[in-house]
Amino acid sequence: MQQAQPGPVRPPLRFQFATLADVWRVTILRDSILLEDRGVVGGFRPNAQIFWDEVTGVYSWRGPNWNLFAIGLLLGFMGAVAALILIRTNGVIWLGSGVAAVALFSVLAFVVRPYQWYRVDTADGSVLFQTYKREVMPLLHEYLNARPPSSSLPPVTSL
């Protein structure tokens, strides 16, 4: 006879994020977090799996979206170069558009669309990832509180 698992059964939550060197995929499962990185050929390969009873801490914070900020700086630089080239005709317009691009993308990167960062600590080290998905923290909170009572760690009350 099979014993029913407590709580609702949810599909895994999966998302990707990129660093300068790698593309990562994070899958939040009922019993663990699976981290995969993209191989040279293009497929994802498992890199680490963290089970919920190994987790010692979860942290969350918002940080700037440096990709958006870099796009704004690039557009601002292109506007400044165009202003230098076209200084006699309409260089002021290009310089103004470059400054406006830097201002717009700075607001986007720091205020409107900052990254939500997460750090999961274990005895073996910590894992850092980012996403825009809002359901990650409530799901982490739910799965950590659903750990078996034999776990030596206290339940998570606020994260």
pLDDT score of 1 = 44
**Under 8 Å CB-to-CB from 98, ≥6 apart: which residues?**
75, 76, 77, 78, 79, 80, 82, 83
- Answer whether residue 107 shows pLDDT above 60: yes
Task: Indicate whether 42 belongs to any domain.
Answer: yes
72 and 38 within one domain:
no
Task: State pLDDT tens for residues 40-51.
Answer: 777 888 888 999
Task: Indicate whether 38 belongs to any domain.
Answer: yes
Task: Indicate whether 34 belongs to any domain.
Answer: yes
pLDDT score of 4 = 47
Task: Indicate whether 6 belongs to any domain.
Answer: no
Q: What percent of the chain has pLDDT over 70?
A: 83
- Answer whether residue 119 shows pLDDT above 70: yes
Task: Indicate whether 32 belongs to any domain.
Answer: yes
Mean pLDDT of 98-126: 87
Mean pLDDT, the chain, rounded, equals 80
Q: Which residues pair with 131 in a beta bridge?
A: 116
Q: From CA 60, how far away is CA 141, in angstroms rounded? A: 11
Task: Indicate whether 93 belongs to any domain.
Answer: yes
- Answer whether residue 148 shows pLDDT above 50: yes
Q: Provide the number of structural domains found in the chain.
A: 2
Task: Indicate whether 103 belongs to any domain.
Answer: yes
126 and 51 within one domain:
yes
The secondary structure of residue 53, as a DSSP letter, is G
126 and 49 within one domain:
yes
37 is in which domain, residue-wise? 13-55+122-145
Task: Indicate whether 61 belongs to any domain.
Answer: no
Q: Are strands 44-51 and 55-63 parallel, antiparallel or unpaired?
A: unpaired
Q: From CA 35, how far away is CA 124, in angstroms rounded? A: 15
29-38, 75-84, 120-129 — which is least confidently predicted?
A: 75-84
Task: State pLDDT tens for residues 52-98.
Answer: 888 888 888 888 888 888 888 888 888 888 777 777 677 777 778 88
Question: Tokens 């300068």 identify what position?
Answer: 20
Q: Which residues pair with 121 in a beta bridge?
A: 57, 126
